[in-house]
Amino acid sequence: MRKLIIIVLFLSSCNWADLDIKKTGMHKNSQSIAESKENGVFRRTVNINKSIIAIGNNRTDTIKEIWLENMWMYSDQGSVLKDSAEQLLILFGDSSKVYNDKLLLKARSDYFGWNGVFFISKRNLGDTIFVVPNTSGNPNTNLDTILLR
């Protein structure tokens, strides 16, 4: 009973606003095409040259979904505010589940961010994405290449 009271007191003292995933003022990205459509920011799917890519150490991963959506954020009321700029998002089978600091995706001179999915602004995007190792070795070493169509 004592433990239950302590747990209830702890939970009631938590600032639940800090746990709010709908914080305003920060650009967000959808975690899937379905969520992108639900948010009203989906633009289109993107075709690529292959869906299985090398990620190093004789391992591969599968690109599950790749799409363009408008950049967006939440308003103070919790609704989605759509921006005119676009971002490319890639959902992998395994690499999207947990951040892997050994793997980087590079487009032109910029790198993709990671937030459950890999994302980059369309303005920083060419037609080739390089899968590169995040090592102090040769930064020009490509593990694989993804061609956007």
Residue by residue, pLDDT tens for the chain (149 residues) are 555 455 544 444 444 343 445 666 788 999 999 999 999 999 999 999 999 999 988 999 999 999 999 999 999 888 999 999 999 999 999 888 888 777 899 998 899 999 999 999 998 888 999 999 887 656 568 899 999 98
> What phi and psi, each to the nearest 5 degrees, are found at residue 115?
-150, 60
Quote the pTM value: 0.80
Give the Cα separation of 116 and 19 in Å (integer).
17
Residue 68's identity, in one-letter code, is L
